[in-house]
Structure 1
C-alpha cells in the first residue's frame, strides 16, 4: 500500500515540476527577448546617478504593470551600445549648476562597456560587478583635480542623487581612498541585492499570470490526474495478477479491453503512463505513432468543453496553486523522494 502512495506523490510532483519548468522557461524567454533585466538595471542607475528625466518622472517604474508594460516598450533607459574600449581619460563633469542629461550614466557606461556584448542598438549589460562599479567611481574621481572632494562637489552642483550616497561613504571612510573604494563596493553590492529582491517581487506577478495560462491551456486537473495515477497503478497490479494467478484475475483486463484484442490493449496502456495521458487534454496535442511521423492535433472543441466544465475547476485551482511554488521547490521535493543527491 505504501508504494501506491509513493507512486501517487512522485507522479504529482513530477507533473508539477514539468509544468513549473515550462512556466519558468516562458518567463525567461520573455525577459531575454525584451531585455528586461538590462533595462531594469539601467533605469535604477539613471535614477541613482542622474535623477529623474526631463519631465520629472522616475526611470524605474514603481508598479509591476509599469515594469513589464512601459519599461520594455516605452522607456528604454539603457545607453547606446559602443564597441569602443573605455577611454584612457574620463570626461570631466559639467561645472554649471544645471543638470546635464544623464551625464553620470554615460560616464559609467564608458568605464564598464568592455563587459558589454557585441550587438547593435543599446547595451545588453544586465549585471555590473560591485568591484567594477567602485573602480569606475575611482576613475571618475581621479579625473578631477580635487579627487573625491571635487567629484562630490560637482555631483552636488549637478543635483545628482549619487552625491548623498558617496558623501556618506567618503565620510565613513575617514577620507581614505582605499577604504572609500571598499565602501563604494559594499554599498553598490547591497544596492544590487535590494534591486534583485525588487525585481523578483515584480517577476512573481508575471509567473502568476503564466502559471494560470499554462494551467488553462493544458487543462491540467490535479485531482483528476491523481485519480488517473491510482487507476493506472491498479491496472498494472491487475496485469501482474494475471501473470501470477492466471485467468482467474482477468476481470479487470476484460473490462478495459473488451472491445479489442487484450494483448495489444495491455501493451498500449502500459506504454502510455498517466503523465503522458494527462497532456492529451491540451488545446494542441502531439501523437507519436508506431510508424510514420509525429502528428499535431487541434483539440479546440474538446479543450473548451473541458475548460468550461465546473467539476474540473477545483483541480485547476490545485494545479495553479502548485505552480506558484515554482520549479526549485518541486525539484527539491522530487530529489528528496527519489533520493537524488545534488552536486555542489
Structure 2
C-alpha cells in the first residue's frame, strides 16, 4: 500500500520498498521536505546503511536525543541486508518499534526480494492467504511493520499499467491527459523515471495550458508521427494490412512494445463494441464520445471503422487479441510473428 504523505501524518517507523525505485526516492524526499517544513533541522537527519550497522545501533541512534531540533530523522538504506540470510530479529529493535521515541522518525528502505509485490498480493483475493503466510515467516521486525501498516510499497508497474499511471501522474503537474495520449508517452520509455521527466518537459512547454495533446507529445517527446500505436489503430481501423504491419515492425524494432500494442488494440476494439450499442440510442457525436470514453476529436475515426468491421468482426478481433495476450505471457513465441499473425487474422 503506497503511503500517502499528503493524507497521513508521518509515523515514527516506516518501511519503504519496491521495484519502482523512482517512487521510493520520491517518497523519501517528500518525507524530508515535510519534516523540515515542520521544524526539523537538516543537521538532525542521519543516513545509515544496513550493510554496516547493527539493529542495536539503530535503537541507540533512535533513542539519542537531538541537541539541534526537537525532531530527528534517521534513514536506513539497504535495510534488507540485515535480513538477507536470517529469519530472526534482535528483540530490542522490535520492542523499540512497539514503543518508539516520539522525537525520532525511523525510515527503513529495502526488503528481501521475496517480498516484492506483497501489497498487490494482499489485495488479490486469490493470493492474499499465501501472502499472509509469507509475512508470518518474516523476521519479527519486518512482520511488525507490515502487519501494523507501517509500510509503503511501490511494486513494479507493468506495460499495461503505465498509461493509467501517466494519466494520474499528469495531475501532479495540474495537467489532464487522455488515455490515448498517455499510451503514446508510455512508448517513450519503460522507465517511469524517464517518463516523468518527459511530463516535466511538457509541463514547462505548455505553461498555463491544462490539457496535453498528441501534438504536444509528438513535438516535445519526439515520438515518430508515422510510427506510433495511434497510427497503428488508424490503419487497423481501415483494414490497411500493409501499413499496420509496417508500423508494428517499426515499434518492435526500436523497443519491445508487444504488450502495449495488444492493450491499445484491445481498447480500440472494446470501444468499437460499446459504440455499436450506443449508436442505437443517439447519433450525437459528443454524446457518443462521452458514452464510450473517447475524446470527441477521435469519434469520427471510430465511426468510420464500424463501416469496415461488422459486429461479429469486432467480437472476433477482441477474441484474437485476448488469445495473443495469453500466448505472449505463457509461451516463447516470437513476438513479431505473434503480432503479425494476429493483425493478419483481424484485418483479412
1 or 2 for the larger relative contact order (CA 8 Å, sep ≥6)?
1
Please tell me whether Structure 1 or Structure 2 has the larger radius of gyration of its CA atoms: 1
TM over 0.5: no
TM-score (norm 2): 0.27
Q: Which structure dedicates a bigger proportion of its chain to helix?
A: 1
Q: Which structure dedicates a bigger proportion of its chain to strand?
A: 2
